[in-house]
Structures are given as structure tokens and as C-alpha cells.
Amino acid sequence: MFTPTPLNLPPYPFKISKKDGVVFIFDELRKKHLVLTPEEWVRQHFIQNLIAEKKFPRTLIQIEGGLVLNQLQKRSDILVYNTAGEKLMLIECKAPKVKITPSVFDQASRYNSIHQAKWIVLTNGLQHVYAKMDLEKGRFNFVEEMPEYLGL
């Protein structure tokens, strides 16, 4: 059974339920109960942080969007759009025990080569990495803090 790890994010009043020994968390954006895995625990916290703390409009957040990379079907954890439908931010969530390493950033960068978002964010709930992309130069700049939605 899943035991929630305290994260480096504010606590939120999630709807947690249990059925047949399986723990579920209610995803407010997708309006359904999901099996509560360590990665889902991080994803749900980060989404709530985007909405409550960073003022991201919930209607512009897409969860587990598909993409094709090297002829393989992949999924990005979270994509954030602007009101014109352009991709602003690619967010990859890992379980708390997964370290945020250069290879994890490389995975997100490969996904972003398809999405072309202006930001890449990596989180395991304990550590958060924010990189602002310079798409014209093909470079990124790491920053300490992610701005609020209107500051993107």
C-alpha cells in the first residue's frame, strides 16, 4: 500500500479513498479517481501548487498529454498552455525517491524538442528544477523560482 511521503510543497486537502486495498486520489482536473502512486502524489501536489500558489488557470493545464518521439508514443506529465493555445511549460514529475539528475533533464529536453514549450520544470516533490528555454538559441537558463502564470 502507498504511504504518502511529505513533500517540499504545501499540503492540500485531497480526496483520498480506498477500495479493495487500493488507495485512490481524486484528480480535480480530470474528474476521476486515480491509483495513488508516488508519482501521482507528486503530480497532484504540483498541480495544486500551480493553481493555488502560482495562479495558473486550471483550464490551461493538460495532464498526461501524448507525443511521438523517435516513432515511439510517449506521455508528458503536465503541459501548461497560454490562452492562444501555445505550450508554455512542460512539467515532468517523478516519484520522491527518483533523483533529479542530468539524465532526467535530458528526457524532459527530448520531450520538449517536440513540444517547444518556453519552460521545462522537473520535480520529485522534494527538489524542483526550473529552466527557461531560449528556443531561438537552443539553450536554457536555470532559475531558482518559477514565476506566477502571468509572469511567464
H/E segment holding residue 35: strand 32-35
Distances (CA, A) of 66 to 14, 48, 72, 96: 26, 22, 10, 23
pLDDT band at 145 (very low <50, low <70, confident <90, very high): very high
Q: Which residue segments constitute the domains of the chain, with CATH numbers given?
A: 16-143 (3.40.1350)
pTM above 0.85, yes or no: yes
Say if CB 63 and CB 55 are below 8 A apart. Answer: no
Residue type, 130: Y
* 119-123 sheet: strands from edge to edge: 61-69, 72-81, 87-93, 119-123, 128-134, 139-143
pLDDT digits (tens, 9 = 90+) for 80-101: 999 999 999 999 999 999 999 9
pLDDT digits (tens, 9 = 90+) for 104-128: 999 888 888 888 899 999 999 999 9
Give CA–CA dist 108/121, Å, rounded. 8
Give CA–CA dist 41/96, Å, rounded. 9
Position 1 pLDDT exceeds 80: no
- For the chain, give the percent of residues with pLDDT over 70: 92
- First-to-final CA distance of the chain: 38
pLDDT digits (tens, 9 = 90+) for 48-69: 999 999 999 999 999 976 555 5
Q: How many CB atoms are closer than 10 A to CB 98?
A: 17
